Amino acid sequence: MQSYENLFRLDGRTAVVVGAGSGVGRESARALAAQGARVICADRDAAAAAQTAAQAGADATPYELDMLDYSAVEAAAAVIDPVDVLVITAATNVRKRLQDYTVEDFDRVVDLNLRAVFGLVRCFGATMVRRGRGSIIGFASMRVATVEPGQGVYSATKAGVVQLLRTAAAEFGPAGVRVNVVAPGPVNTPLTAQIRAVPRWYDAYAAKGALGRWAEPGEIAGAVVYLAGDAASFVTGTCLFVDGGWTAVDGRFEPPS
């Protein structure tokens, strides 16, 4: 008979959160630690990683990692072993229309959002496959389903992450490794600071979703905890939208007064 008392507990498991220095990454690290995981808070900003680790508790450790450095990622996968959960939250965006994009802009977004994710999945996934278990959780965006001017390259990279991780789910699944993606809606994080600085934009984004507001980073962390552990033991290859109904709503109708 199935026991449900510890469905979301992660005691005895090691989780690596890449991008743990702020935003959703920080809250994901704190949430995983609260469920009993030993959390490695990885970030390019060593001070921010240390701050997150301090907030997450005694079983959290900071780790300085530049995910753009493939050799450093390889070394991290070798040193931090075994790893039961890998969470990849770090991303960037350059908000410009396509005709204003430079090759440098394009490379900057693609390198972090897609190429670096490939490196992490390849290196950490290999150790999980060898051990026969693990959970990889990548991050996309509601932009995999809906686009807007100025978000083309970002949207393309996030759609790429979904397909990359779905492929990993298919390839790693026979070894017992699950791979999934979380696709948030608008969240109050440093990545969305440009939009939040303009009240008209901020209000328009809030109004688009069914819940009529932005999310706080901690509201995304629950999806990470779910996908990390036994509650999602038969969930792989999926993209879980945590978007406040953004992708469900198309337009508004207000009855005349």
**Spatial distance between the Cα atoms of 29 and 56, rounded to a whole number of angstroms:** 7
- The residue from 4, 63, 101, 154 that is catalytic is 154
Of the candidates 70, 237, 247, which has an alpha carbon nearest to the alpha carbon of residue 168?
A: 237
CA distances from 147 to 180, 242, 243 (A): 22, 17, 14
Residue 101 annotated among the catalytic residues of the structure: no
Distance between CA atoms of 81 and 114, rounded to whole angstroms? 24
Residues serving a catalytic function are 154
